[in-house]
Homo-oligomer: A and B are copies of this chain.
Amino acid sequence: MSTTGNSTNLGCFYGVGVGPGDPELLTLKALRILQDVPVICTPRSETSQESYALDIVREYLDEQKQEIIRIPFPIDDEAGAAAVWRNAADTIGGHLTQGKDVAFITEGDPMLYSTFSYVLDSITSGYPEVTVEIIPGVSSVMAAAASAGVPLVTHGQRLVILPAVYGIDDLSEAIANYDTIVLMKVNRTLLQALANLEQLGLAGKGIYVRRASTAREEVVRDLSTLSEEDLDYFSLLIIKR
């Protein structure tokens, strides 16, 4: 997306996907923009000072010259979430109206389960004249498949990506109609997901991938070895019929 507004006075707002974790999986374009902009904006959870996206790109930044803004984001769809995104947009908008380009970084891709979509919404409604450019990134879905050595889908096949297991009926429906199912961020629902797979006769069909492309990456093909200790926010399950 590139909505060209009054770009002579306003900074450009970039949404930059920084990939699944390995800093080398940044795109050339993402790197160029991140080294060029004066302001980097990164989401962090309200309970932590950490930002995973920032960890990925930190080595490429010049923290002496570039300003880094950490924006706390609500963990779930909370009642106050809309206000959080409006505040975020105002913080970012302040820099943009000073003529500074701002890059909002997200792990993976900005358009797939990213906090960027909420910020984008707030910026485009609050600052409609701002130029927005979105730089797609390598998703953890693709990185996990690469790490597992398992093609997600080939010619003629159908893929479903679910944010979590909603229940065995949902999974059963997906299995019936699609070739491959990816369950994202199974951290809180891992054990339930595994129980459901077993109940559906799919016990041997799942592959668990944690922190794909990083030094802490783990690919687990025998799901019976998984326990609550294996919970991890950056994990997913690939299920092939």
Contacts and interface: CB of A to CB of B under 8 A. Distances in A.
Contacts of A199: none
A32 to B, nearest CB: 7
Interface in A48-106: 76-77
A200 to B, nearest CB: 17
B161 A158 contact: yes
A160 interface: yes
Contact of A148 (B1, B118, B157, B174): B1
A37 to B, nearest CB: 16
Contact of A156 (B22, B29, B77): B77
Interface in A111-169: 111-114, 116-118, 120, 124, 132, 134-139, 142-143, 145-164
A17 interface: yes
Contacts of A31: 28
B160 A160 contact: yes
Nearest to A138: B136
A176 B120 CA distance: 27
Contact of A162 (B27, B110, B152, B158): B158
B29 A136 contact: no
A4 interface: no
A214 interface: no
A229 interface: no
Interface string A17-32: 1011011111111011
28 contacts: A1-B147, A1-B148, A15-B146, A17-B138, A17-B142, A25-B28, A26-B27, A27-B28, A77-B156, A111-B146, A111-B150, A113-B155, A113-B157, A114-B154, A120-B151, A124-B149, A132-B149, A134-B149, A136-B138, A139-B139, A153-B161, A155-B163, A156-B163, A158-B160, A158-B162, A158-B163, A160-B160, A160-B161
